[in-house]
Amino acid sequence: MPIEKFKILESNCVPLQVENVDTDQIIPARFLKATTREGFGDNLFRDWSFDENGNRKEDFVLNNPKFSGKILVAGRNFGSGSSREHAAWAIYDYGFRVVVSSFFADIFKNNALNNGLLPVQVSKEFLTTIFLQLNENPKTRLKVDLQSQEISLLSNGQKEKFQISHYKKECLLNGYDDIDFLVNLKDEITEFENKDSK
């Protein structure tokens, strides 16, 4: 499926000040029984968000009315664990378009990018600043500009560059996805196979 184009996003943020958030927290395995991609957002961070009787836990940040927005800000090593793309689907389906952290797990990063969810890796210091600002003022806004690869705090203008491969950047800016690209390479791939079997 072509992915949604991403250029600039200005939004409030939701702070999840926890390190090593793994894919089993993002979407517990018992919710992976679906055969479609939709609807995973309902169970995002399920066991942090709801108690065993299905009631919302007030103290979890997603349930805190003070925080909202399309940017999730999380502690270091976000998305570790399984390769389940359901984690990226759940975050996207919930409504986030950017995840900010000081460190991402590899497979999660790929999965996110393949679904139009932008992982923005910032320095440890900048992450701390963002958390501090959000604690002081929950309405703190971030601006993420993919073209210039810049993320900034709108309150004080503090900004930082972030990395993304040129290829993935083009894909996101234009809404391309990898499968179209690969399918167009079929002749080259077949040639590779023939050469290889000799």
Partner 1 sequence: MKAKTLFDKIWDSHVVSSIPDGPDVLYIDKHLIHEVTSPQAFAGLKQRNLPVFRPEKIVATADHNVPTENQHLPIQDELSRLQVQTLIDNCNIHNIELYGLNHPYNGIVHVIGPELGLTQPGMTIVCGDSHTSTHGAFGNIAFGIGTSEVEMVMASECVLQAKPNKMRITIEGNLAKAVSSKDIILYIISKISASGGTGYFIEFAGSAITNLSMESRMTVCNMSIEMGARGGLIAPDETTFEYLKGKEFSPDNKSWNLSLVKWKQLQTDKNALFDKEWIFNAEDIGPMITYGTNPGMGMSIVGNIPQLNSIPKESRDSFQKSLDYMGFEPGSKVIGKKVDYVFVGSCTNGRIEDLRAFSKLVKGRKKADWITAWIVPGSKKVEEQAKKEGLESILNAAGFELRQPGCSACLAMNDDKIPEGKYSVSTSNRNFEGRQGPGARTLLVSPLTAAAAAVTGRITNPGDLI
Among all chains, which residue has been given the structure tokens 């999730």?
72
Q: Which has the closest alpha carbon to 66: 120, 15, 112, 7?
A: 15
Min dist. Cβ of residue 126 to partner 1 (A): 13
Tell me how far the alpha carbon of residue 150 is from its chain's centroid.
Answer: 16
Q: Is 49 helix (H, G, I), strand (E, B) or coil?
A: helix
DSSP 8-state class, residue 31 = G
Return the residues of window 57-86 that contact partner 1 according to CB under 8 A.
75-77, 80-86
**Phi–psi pair at 32, nearest 5 degrees:** -95, 20
Size of interface with partner 1, in residues (CB under 8 A): 57
Angle subtended at Cα 40 by Cα 37 and Cα 42, rounded to the nearest 5 degrees? 150
x/- site string to partner 1, residues 174 to 193, per CB under 8 A? Answer: ---xxx-xxx-xx-xx--xx
Choose which of 7, 56, 57, 124 interacts with partner 1 (CB under 8 A): 124
Choose which of 16, 105, 117, 151 interacts with partner 1 (CB under 8 A): 105
| Beta carbons of 95 and 70 less than 8 angstroms apart | yes
- Chain residues binding partner 1 by CB under 8 A are 1, 17-20, 22, 24-25, 28-30, 32-37, 47, 52, 75-77, 80-86, 88, 103, 105-107, 110-111, 114-115, 124, 128, 165-168, 177-179, 181-183, 185-186, 188-189, 192-193, 196
